[in-house]
Structure 1
Amino acid sequence: MRCLNCGNKSINELNLKIIFGFEDFVPDNLCELCRSQLNPLNYDEGCIRCYKKNDSNICEDCLLWDKKYNIINCHQALFEYNQFIHSYFKNYKWYGDILLAELFSKDLYNWSKSNKFDLITYIPASNGHLEARGFDPVWEMYHKVFDLTSMLVKIDADKPQAQKNRYERLQTPQTFYFHPDRLDIPSDSSILILDDVYTTGRTLMHARQALEIVGFNNICTFSLSR
C-alpha cells in the first residue's frame, strides 16, 4: 500500500486475528517517514485535562475554562500540533484533498477500541463552510471509525477559527445549538464530541455548553491534534 500523504510505501502487517476474521483490518495509511514527523501526546507528559504538552499538570486554557465556566475539561488528543499536522490540514481542508480524511484511520481505530461511550457526536461544518468546501472535514475524518450521531448545528461565524488569533478565538460567541430532532436521547448518556484540532478549546467548550443546556452532563471531547 502507499502512504496517502507522500506516496511512499506503507507497511501493513497481518496478524492471526485479522487473518481469521476475529479483528478488523484497518490499513495504516502513513509511511514510516511521515509517522516519524508526528509527536504523540499522552497523559503523563502534559496537561491532565487536555493532553497539551505543558510544564504543569493543568494548562492555562483548562484553568481558564474552570474559572470562567466551571468546566472541568475532559479531553484527549493523539498528536501535538506541529508543522506536519499544519501541512496535513492545509492540504485536507483548504485544498480539499478528501482522500486525506483517512490518513489517520489506523490511529483513530486503535484509540476507539479502548475508549467507549454511549453516543458519539462531532463538530459539524456550518452551511457556509460546507458549501465552500463541498464536504464536512470532521465527519469525513471520523465516520468510518465511529458510529456518529448528529446532535449539533453550527451557525456561520464572522470568520473561520483558523483566521483568528488567540484573543479572537477566546472571544468567539456561541455558534452551536442542539439538534431539535435529538430530544429522545437519555440525559445520563456518556457523550463524546469529536473535532479535528483543539487550539484554545473555545469551539469544543461551546459545543459542550450547547449540550449541557438541554441536560447532558457526562461529556468528554477528542481531537486528532492539540
Structure 2
Amino acid sequence: MKCLFCGSDINKNLKINEIFSLNKINPNYICNLCRSQVIPLAGRNNCSRCFKPNSGRICDDCLIWEEKYHIINCHHALFEYNQFIHSYFKLYKRYGDVLLARLFYQDIMQWSSLHHFDVVTYIPASPSHLLERGFDPVYELYSEVFDLKKLLIKADADKPQAQKNRLERLQTPQTFSARPEIRTIPKDKSILILDDIYTTGRTLMYAREIFLAQNLHNVTTFSLSR
C-alpha cells in the first residue's frame, strides 16, 4: 500500500497478536515519514474545553463563548494545526484530491471506538462549495467511520472562512438552518457534530445553536485539527 499523501510505500509489519486476532485491522493510509510531521493533541496541556494546544487552562476563546453566549464548550480534536495539516487540506479541499479523505482513517476510527454518541452529524458544504468541488469534504472525511445523519443546511457565506481573519470569523453571521429530521431526535440523545478544522469555534458554535433551539443540549463537537 502507498501513502495517500506522498506516494511512498507503507510497510505494515504485523505483530503476532494482530496476525492471530479475530478483530478487524484498520487499514493505514499514511506513511511513517508523513506521520512524523503530524502533531497529536492527546496527552498535552491543552484547553480542557476545546483542545487549544498548550493553553494550560481554559482558553480565552472558550471564556468568550461562556460569557457572551452562555455556552460551555465541549470539543475534541486530534492534531495541532501546522504546515503539514495546512498542506493536507490545501490538496484535499482546494485541489479536490478526494482520496485524501482516507489519510487519517485509522486515527479517526480509533477515536470513534473510544467515544459513543447516539446521533452523529456534520458541518455540510454550502451549495456553491459543493458545486465547485463536486464533493462534500467534511462528509467524505468521516463517512467511512460514522453513520452520518444530515441534519444541517448551510447557506452560502460572503466569502470562505479560510479567507477571513480572526475578527471576521468571529463576526460571521449565522449561516445554518435545521433540516426537518432534527425535530425527530429525542431530547435525551447525545449528539456529535463533526468538522474538519477548529479555528475560533464560530462555525461549530452556530451549528450547536441550531440544536439548542430544538432543546437538544447534550452536544459535543469534534474536528480533525485544532
User: Which TM-score band (shorter chain)?
Assistant: over 0.9
Measure, in 2, the Cα distance between the counterparts of 1:218 and 1:17.
38
How many angstroms does 1:16 deviate by?
6.4
**1:164-197 per-position Cα deviation (integer Å, ceiling 9, x unaligned):** 0000000001111111133211111100000000
Of residues 41-50 and 6-15 in structure 1, the stretch that sits farther from structure 2 once superposed is 6-15
Counterpart of 2:180?
A: 180
**Cα pair 1:12 1:27 within 8 Å, conserved:** no
Structure 1 residues 62 and 43 mapped into 2: Cα distance closer, same or farther (>3 Å)?
farther
Measure, in 1, the Cα distance between the counterparts of 2:23 and 2:17.
5
Give runs of aligned pairs for residues 108-187 of structure 1, distance below 5 A: 108-187=108-187
**What is the number of residues matched between the two proteins?**
226
Counterpart of 2:97?
A: 97
How many angstroms does 1:66 deviate by?
0.8
How many angstroms does 1:13 deviate by?
4.1
Residues 1:4 and 2:14 are matched in the alignment: no
How many angstroms does 1:46 deviate by?
1.0
What's the TM-score once normalised by structure 1's chain length?
0.96
Structure 1 residues 180 and 16 mapped into 2: Cα distance closer, same or farther (>3 Å)?
farther
Structure 1 residues 218 and 13 mapped into 2: Cα distance closer, same or farther (>3 Å)?
farther
Measure, in 2, the Cα distance between the counterparts of 1:13 and 1:124.
38
How many angstroms does 1:42 deviate by?
2.1
Measure, in 2, the Cα distance between the counterparts of 1:223 and 1:127.
21
List gaps (5 residues or longer) in structure 2.
none
Computed over aligned residues only, the root mean square deviation of the Cα atoms, in angstroms, reads: 1.5
Counterpart of 1:189?
A: 189
How many angstroms does 1:45 deviate by?
1.5
Residues 1:50 and 2:50 are matched in the alignment: yes
What's the TM-score once normalised by structure 2's chain length?
0.96
Measure, in 2, the Cα distance between the counterparts of 1:21 and 1:127.
45
How many angstroms does 1:17 deviate by?
6.8
How many angstroms does 1:19 deviate by?
4.9
Structure 1 residues 2 and 63 mapped into 2: Cα distance closer, same or farther (>3 Å)?
same
**Cα pair 2:44 2:54 within 8 Å, conserved:** no
Measure, in 1, the Cα distance between the counterparts of 2:153 and 2:21.
38
User: Aligned to 2:211, what secondary structure does the other structure show?
Assistant: helix
Of residues 99-108 and 39-48 in structure 1, the stretch that sits farther from structure 2 once superposed is 39-48
List gaps (5 residues or longer) in structure 1.
none
Structure 1 residues 211 and 146 mapped into 2: Cα distance closer, same or farther (>3 Å)?
same
| Code of the aligned partner of 2:41 | L
Measure, in 2, the Cα distance between the counterparts of 1:209 and 1:182.
13
**1:24-56 per-position Cα deviation (integer Å, ceiling 9, x unaligned):** 232111111000001110254210111111333
